Copies of this chain bind each other. A is one copy, B any other.
Amino acid sequence: MNDLAVHLTDGKDKHLYEQIYEYIRDEIKGGKLLDGEKLPSTRSLAGYLQVSRSTVELAYDQLLSEGYIESVPYKGYYICRAEELYRLCVQPEEPGQEEDDAGSRTQPSAAFLGRCGRESGTGRSCEIDFSPNAIDMNAFPFGTWRRITRETLNDDRKELFSLGQSKGDAGLRLTICRYLHSSRGVNASPEQIIVGAGNDYLLLLLQHILGRNICVAFENPSYRRAWRIFSSFAAKTAVVASDANGMRVDSLKESGANVAYCMPSRQYPTGTIMPIGRRMELLKWAGGAEGRYLIEDDYDSEFRYRGKPIPSLQASDREGRVIYVGTFSKSIAPAIRISFMVLPPRLLERYEKNCAFFSSTVSRIDQTILDEFIRSGAFERHLNKMRKLYKEKHDLLLEELKPLLTKYRLSGEYAGLHVLLTSRGAAQEEELIRRAAQEGVRIYGMDEAALTPAGKKEGKSAATLLLGYGGLDREAIREGVRRLRGIL
């Protein structure tokens, strides 16, 4: 840490916490800080660097969430074991390098969001619905969308009404590519991007690209919809064990699966962030045999309310084993049926050979509107606004939940659009949900995301509730939790 102090600059280009985070990260990657080594306490490092303690805490938080360090209660922070460390190849976007429109903002590219409609429950009208899938459409920039739509349709642009390229329009693919690179560290050329009408469709297409002899591994619980798609439509699936770091590689190996479906940035529904060590293990597994792939569902990776966004798994992939899947359903609106996947070169070849004749499923008009929405900077502004809005809801919910934390353990906070409450006692999930419903409050249980045939987790486990706040206003959150306090 000796030369960290000299490196710190109080410039505008980088926050202090970010500089501290990067310095330590690089020391770990460079092998200068070794496995199991203890880090200075936040207080002592803050004192040494002459910065506030919260700055150091932020840096440590980031290192924690990316899995570089771990926190041992009452002891402190320790460097984690990592199979092998990769460097991200993210080059910061040069200002002016991007094709900029007049209206474009110069902020570094904002966060990239995730999916909506995770079996979005609309619920009864009188209810306060803590759906983990709802998003807030009140803040949608309808005016901007209308203006871009109008401008797009002007001048009788006939070419927009023709059938576009199978993969999606080149312009939109380039825009997505740049966006993914700057916000998620995804390394890809526009050729690798396939635009399609929603994740469900892309997963269907992906099965055809992967071929018939695949077995897809899922954690349990996981994103049931993806699991249903893979298990209904021809492919074999396997359920593998997970722990606090995400999918367990030993269990994955035992399962015999050759494709693993994972959500490293924030697992649904557990909220688990996969640390760097586990990521490396997974990548190593994938590289270990021909035909192995990791599907990275990056559905809401960028609604983070603390620290920097966690880089994608794809960003660490050197051997072309990660299929990155993202969507605009959650970040813009569920009706915008535009998702995309990034294929590694081997699968791109197969796509070109076997599936490229397949017509695009997205209207060119819609693609052009979305492209302009992103390139004009409107998307970025929208994301920043939404993140702020969701953070306020998140903070309020945490505040309101405090009295419950003697009986429940909180997890999954500081990111996404839901938190989890796990009973410290013997409460039954179904019973809690039923009682909440009687009070006009709809809450969700972890069991709903379970993949085992009975729809339950195997063995007995503590009741875990999912509380989504995206679709509720402040008053509804307050009132909802007030009612829950009487029940839980």
Contacts and interface: CB of A to CB of B under 8 A. Distances in A.
B120 A163 contact: yes
A146 B137 CA distance: 24
A161 B146 contact: no
Contacts of A120: 162-163
A204 to B, nearest CB: 7
Interface stretch (A99-107, A150-158, A397-405, A450-458): A150-158
B208 A336 contact: no
Interface residues of A, number: 53
A23 interface: no
Contacts of A357: 119, 225, 228
Contact of A361 (B146, B154, B197, B355): B197
Contacts of A329: 163
Interface in A73-123: 116-117, 119-120
A365 B161 contact: no
B234 A234 contact: yes
B156 A142 contact: yes
Contact of A164 (B145, B150, B335): B335
B163 A334 contact: yes
B145 A153 contact: yes
Contacts of A163: 116-117, 120, 329, 334-335
Interface centre among A197, A232, A359, by most chain B C-beta atoms within 10 angstroms, is: A359
A310 to B, nearest CB: 26
A358 B137 contact: no
A120 B208 CA distance: 24
Interface string A343-372: 000000000001101111111111000000
A391 interface: no
B334 A162 contact: yes
A149 interface: yes
A420 B133 CA distance: 54
A378 interface: no
Interface string A161-180: 11110000000000000000
Q: Report the 7 A-B pairs with minimum CB-CB distance, sorted nearest first.
A: A161-B333, A197-B361, A163-B334, A117-B163, A142-B156, A197-B197, A335-B364
Interface of A: 116-117, 119-120, 137-138, 140, 142, 145-146, 149-150, 153-154, 156, 158, 160-164, 197-201, 204, 208, 212, 225, 228-229, 232-234, 329, 333-337, 354-355, 357-366
